[in-house]
Every structure is written in C-alpha cells, then in structure tokens.
C-alpha cells in the first residue's frame, strides 16, 4: 500500500486544485489571493464590468504579475522574446538538474 501526501487549495469551501508539494500549493494560493484583490479593486473602480469580467481580468493580471510589474516600473511592454528565452533557460536548467539526480541514483 502506497501513502501519498496531497496538498489541496480550498477557496470558499470549494476545492480549486490539488498539488504534490506544499510549495506549489502555497504559490497557487498566493496567486488566487492576488487575483481576488485585483477583482475587488476592479469592482470598486466604477468601471462598467460585471463580476465575471472582473474575476477573469483579476486572474489574468495575477498570472501575468511579472509583466504587470515590468510595465509599472518602465512604462513599456516587456520584451516577449526575452521573457520566453528566460523561461526556457530556467526550465532547461531545472530539467538538467532532474536528469542529474536520476543519473546519480
């Protein structure tokens, strides 16, 4: 019999997502907190939008936090190619670490 530990993110009594690590679950929970704050802020802004639109936009802003921060700091759009290259380099580095760990075992 195998024992597995799962971390479940729950919002308003509803299971949102299940993760294998606490770190991933905490990161997703933080993303949802940020999305909720954006949603509330948008709804209070007085702009014409319904709650679903505000939730969608709030989640998008939270998911694109790095791009939003870049725009706020520089007043310019982030370079899409540089961001993609950075993400690819980081994932390649993480992938090579996993391979090394597997080969060492």
Dump pLDDT digits (tens) for 37-77: 999 999 999 999 999 999 999 999 999 999 999 999 999 99
CA distance linking residue 47 with residue 43, whole number of Å: 7
Q: Which two tokens mark 3?
A: 């024992």
Average pLDDT across the chain, whole number: 82
Whole-angstrom distance, CA of residue 97 vs CA of residue 75: 36
Cβ count near 4 (within 10 Å): 5
């Amino acid at each position: 019999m195998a024992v597995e530990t799962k971390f479940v993110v729950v919002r308003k009594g509803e299971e949102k997502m299940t993760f294998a690590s606490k770190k991933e679950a905490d990161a997703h929970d933080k993303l949802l907190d940020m999305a909720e704050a954006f949603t509330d802020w948008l709804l209070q802004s007085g702009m014409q939008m319904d709650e679903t639109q505000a939730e969608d936009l709030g989640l998008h802003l939270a998911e694109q936090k790095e791009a939003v921060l870049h725009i706020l700091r520089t007043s310019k759009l982030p370079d899409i190619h540089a961001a993609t290259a950075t993400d690819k380099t980081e994932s390649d580095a993480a992938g090579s670490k996993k391979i090394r760990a597997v080969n060492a075992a």
